[in-house]
Amino acid sequence: MNSQIKISTVIVTLVSAILVYSSFILGDSENYLFPRLISATIAILTIMLWFEKGEADKSTNFKDLMPGIAIASAFILLLKILGFYLASMIVFFTLVMYYTKPTESKDFWRVLLIKLGVAFVFTFALYGLFTLLLKVHTPEGLF
Amino acid sequence: MEFLNYFDNVFTVYHIALLVGGTFAGIILGALPGLSPTMSVALLIPFTFHMKPESGLILLGAMYTATVAGGAISAILVNVPGAPANIATALDGHKMAQNGKAKNALHYCFISSFVGGIFGVFILIFFTPPLAALSLKFMSTEMFWVAILGITIIATLDSKSVIKGLLSGLFGLMLATIGEHPTNAVERFVFTDHLESGVHIVVGLIGLFAMPQVWNLLENFYAKKNRVFSATGDATLIQSFKLVFSKLKALSIGSIIGSIIGIIPGAGGQIAGIVAYDQSKKVSSNRENYGKGEPEAIIAAESANNSMVGPSLIPLLTLSIPGSPTAAVLLGGLLIHGIFPGHDIFTKNPEVIWTFIDSLIIAQILMLIIGLFLSRHSKWIMKVPDNYMAVGILLLAVFGTYSIQNNYSDVLIMFTLGTLMYFGSKAGFSPVPVVLGLILGTMTEEKFLLGNLIGNAKGSSFQHFTSGTINIVLISLCIASIVYGVYSSRKSKKIKA
């Protein structure tokens, strides 16, 4: 078993243990009958997972992935403060600016203006579609 | 011939507009490498909330049909299948593009998709009502085993590891138990206020399918891209039609195999395309040209993956077991519109279901017309940069999730679930069984509790669940699917070694 498989198996075991604990210890027998059946089966399969000869897990390119997750997480947290459209425009611009290919134009200001323009047009199109046309609620924020 | 009575409902300006829009968007989304039909249908579901059930289903059906066909565009021009169903198409389609015949390949692809698709819808029309009548014999314990069978089949077919597939399905069932108990409203597993209303089906669908795609696009953003070929070639439409219909053997093999595989719960277009490709190669007189740009190969693969669409809805509409991963998502769409699959689906909701099925025929025709038109401009479709695509999916996912119940907690659940699923998929876990577990969870628990109650009254709950012909057949099928899953995963490991 390689180290990546070991880590994922340990995580699955921990999740299974939490499920078994919350179904059998925290819950009463009447309301937790079905979760108990499922979590017990999960526990048995988790034990079997330790003996499975698995293939190596796919490696993760954290260097390129984590900034994206951080920007998107900030967007989710900012939704309630800035509202959907303002937060969307900011996350759109930030993500496309951060993820720039080396082959793109070297003229920083030109790239910045184009991406800002696309972010604005995209957000405005979302506003037109969701709020004006479909009349659907979006997170409003404080402003 | 009851289906003929409901064509009027399809031919309204509103429904035709939905069909055109759904097909147009579906082909474009299908053509974008990495955006699967399953994710596209999942993202679309919130937009159908405010529609009448038949309108919502028409839009979802058009999207399902078109994304499967659209996936062939990127398979041919970039050698990256737009959906797993187009893997077999890429083998010869891309070779034709390299030989300067991408336009020909795209023509063959859309024409054979159309023929296969129409064939599949007719199988759906004629086989669904008798199977729905058969489902009358399914009581609580049988329905419990049907749900377990659906999860077992999808878990064993969609994952490389049977154990991980089954664990994924069971995690989905556990997710469905979060929130209120189905019969006495006692709160379970509510560790934070955000989990008070449980995990909504659509929140799970969007999180499990859309968010991993966002992370995937960003993680591989700097990786080298494949060359995109232009849709060049010497074929006229009439020549292409003549060629496709002259390859009747490949067309029939694809359409029949696709339909059979579509009916098998959980199998999906990927298997249909590959099996049809393989079988048509075996009987073809041009078998030495397979893999070098053989039109018959494209015709067999594409007619198969589109003929799978209609039949994949047969077990879904009659027994709640989806025939493909996208059909699993469509099940979520049916449930949120108050359509419950089963024996009475054609008596309780005939207008909705027949209108939906009729619309699939029109969707196939529109797919052919719009597909042939868009394939000329397909090179530009595939030039959408990954960073723009990722942020577009992220914003639609957040909007779609929030719009379900105007609840910020849903957004947090979607984001967390999707991110965990991304890392889970790296470790070999698949989102499809999780989603099916989540969708079928409440129904499974209700049937389990009812069966348990009746069983206890009779003296033995265990005996109640394990007696009766249908129960025994269903349990045997569950075991057989697990055994088959173990066998095929060992076989594929041996081949790799």
B406 → closest Cβ in A5, A39, A137: A137
A137 → closest Cβ in B47, B390, B403: B403
The band of B422, judged by pLDDT with boundaries at 50, 70 and 90, is very high
Q: Which helix (H) or strand (E) holds B4?
A: none
Hey, what are B111's tokens?
């024409």
Q: Which residues of A touch B164 (CB under 8 A)?
A: 49
Say yes or no: A118 and A94 in one domain: yes
Query: Cα distance from B273 to chain A (closest Cα, Å)?
Result: 26
A72 → closest Cβ in B47, B394, B399: B394
Contact B165, B158 (CB under 8 A): yes
Beta carbons of B390 and A139 less than 8 Å apart: no
Q: Which residues of A touch B170 (CB under 8 A)?
A: 38, 41-42, 45
Q: Which helix (H) or strand (E) holds A37?
A: helix A33-51
Is position A28 within any domain?
A: yes
Contact B468, B141 (CB under 8 A): yes
d(CA B67, CA B209): 15
d(CA B291, CA B281): 10
Contact B249, B283 (CB under 8 A): yes
Say yes or no: A43 and A91 in one domain: no
Best A89, A136, A137, A142 member to test B by mutation, with max B CBs in 10 Å, is A136
Residue B343 DSSP symbol: T
Say yes or no: A18 and A67 in one domain: no
Q: Which residue of chain A has the CA closest to B486?
A: A52
Which tens digits make up the pLDDT trace of A41-67? 999 999 998 888 766 667 888 889 999
Hey, what are A33's tokens?
């009958």
Hey, what are B300's tokens?
């067999």
Spatial CA neighbour of B314 closest among B260, B363, B355, B351: B260
Contact B439, B335 (CB under 8 A): yes
What residues contact B85, with CB distance under 8 A and at least 6 apart? B37, B68, B71, B268, B269, B270, B272, B273, B305, B308
C-alpha dihedral (B324, B330, B332, B337), degrees to nearest 10: -160
Beta carbons of A64 and B219 less than 8 Å apart: yes
CA distances from A11 to A54, B156, B166, B442 (A): 15, 22, 16, 26
Q: Where are the domains of chain B?
A: 2-496
B391 → closest Cβ in A32, A57, A91: A91
Say yes or no: A70 and A119 in one domain: yes
Hey, what are B33's tokens?
């490498």
* Concatenated DSSP letters of B134-148: HGGG--HHHHHHHHH
Contact A92, B214 (CB under 8 A): no
* pLDDT > 60? residue A71: yes
Say yes or no: A66 and A106 in one domain: yes
Beta carbons of B390 and A69 less than 8 Å apart: no
User: What is the reported pLDDT for A143?
Assistant: 59
Q: Which residues of A touch B218 (CB under 8 A)?
A: 64-65, 68, 95, 99
Spatial CA neighbour of B400 closest among A136, A72, A83: A136
Query: Cα distance from A35 to chain B (closest Cα, Å)?
Result: 6
Beta carbons of A136 and B403 less than 8 Å apart: yes
Q: Which residues of B touch A45 (CB under 8 A)?
A: 163, 166-167, 170
Q: Which residue of chain A has the CA closest to B47?
A: A134
Spatial CA neighbour of B314 closest among B188, B140, B135, B141: B135
Say yes or no: A46 and A81 in one domain: no
Mean pLDDT of chain A: 86
Q: Which residue of chain B has the CA closest to A135?
A: B50
What residues contact B356, with CB distance under 8 A and at least 6 apart? B54, B57, B58, B61
Contact B35, B389 (CB under 8 A): yes
* pLDDT > 90? residue B171: yes
Say yes or no: A81 and A118 in one domain: yes
A120 SS3 class: helix
B163 → closest Cβ in A19, A49, A72: A49
The residues facing B377 across adjacent strands are none
Q: Which residues of B touch A5 (CB under 8 A)?
A: 427
Which tens digits make up the pLDDT trace of A11-38? 889 988 998 898 888 878 788 999 999 9
* pLDDT > 70? residue B230: no
A84 → closest Cβ in B188, B399, B452: B399
* pLDDT > 60? residue B478: yes
Q: Which residue of chain B has the CA closest to A71?
A: B391
Best A31, A93, A120 member to test B by mutation, with max B CBs in 10 Å, is A31
CA distances from B427 to A60, B205, B417, B422 (A): 10, 20, 15, 9
d(CA B258, CA B310): 10
d(CA B497, CA B492): 9
**CA dihedral sign of residues A93, A95, A97, A101:** negative
Contact B203, B410 (CB under 8 A): yes
Neighbour count for residue A47 (Cβ, 10 Å): 12
Query: Cα distance from B118 to chain A (closest Cα, Å)?
Result: 33
Beta carbons of B222 and A57 less than 8 Å apart: no
Q: Which residue of chain B has the CA closest to A115?
A: B388
d(CA B221, CA B305): 29
**CA dihedral sign of residues B16, B298, B89, B277:** positive
For residue A42, the enclosing domain spans 3-51
d(CA B395, CA A31): 38
Residue B340 DSSP symbol: -
Contact B48, B60 (CB under 8 A): yes
Say yes or no: A69 and A89 in one domain: yes
B411 → closest Cβ in A8, A76, A88: A76
User: What is the reported pLDDT for A92?
Assistant: 94
Is position A139 within any domain?
A: no
Amino acid occupying residue A34: F
Q: Which helix (H) or strand (E) holds B282?
A: helix B268-283
Is position A140 within any domain?
A: no
Beta carbons of A45 and B163 less than 8 Å apart: yes
Say yes or no: A123 and A68 in one domain: yes
- How many structural domains compose chain A? 2
d(CA B469, CA A57): 42
Query: Cα distance from A109 to chain B (closest Cα, Å)?
Result: 19
Q: Which residues of A touch B421 (CB under 8 A)?
A: none
* pLDDT > 70? residue B294: yes
Neighbour count for residue B116 (Cβ, 10 Å): 35
B344 SS3 class: coil
d(CA A14, CA A9): 9
Query: Cα distance from B5 to chain A (closest Cα, Å)?
Result: 31
Beta carbons of A76 and B188 less than 8 Å apart: no
Beta carbons of A68 and B167 less than 8 Å apart: no
What's the 3-state SS for B228-289?
Answer: CCCCCCCCCHHHHHHHHHHCHHHHHHHHHHHHHHHHCCCCHHHHHHHHHHHHHHHHCCCHHH
d(CA B388, CA A118): 9
The residues facing B180 across adjacent strands are B187
Mean pLDDT for B93-122 is 89
Contact B60, B356 (CB under 8 A): no
C-alpha dihedral (B453, B456, B458, B463), degrees to nearest 10: 100
Hey, what are B433's tokens?
């069984």
* pLDDT > 70? residue B125: yes
Q: Which helix (H) or strand (E) holds B179?
A: strand B179-180
Which tens digits make up the pLDDT trace of B175-191? 999 998 888 878 898 88
Which tens digits make up the pLDDT trace of B54-101? 999 999 999 988 988 888 888 888 777 777 778 788 888 888 888 888
d(CA B341, CA B315): 9
Spatial CA neighbour of A115 closest among A93, A100, A99, A98: A93
**Complex-level ipTM:** 0.92
d(CA B207, CA B333): 15
The band of B485, judged by pLDDT with boundaries at 50, 70 and 90, is confident
Beta carbons of B387 and A95 less than 8 Å apart: yes
Mean pLDDT for B274-284 is 85
Mean pLDDT for B134-161 is 80
d(CA B405, CA B401): 8
Q: Which residue of chain A has the CA closest to B443?
A: A34
Contact B371, B24 (CB under 8 A): no
Query: Cα distance from A65 to chain B (closest Cα, Å)?
Result: 5
- Furthest C-alpha separation in chain B: 74
Mean pLDDT of chain B: 85
Contact A139, A88 (CB under 8 A): no
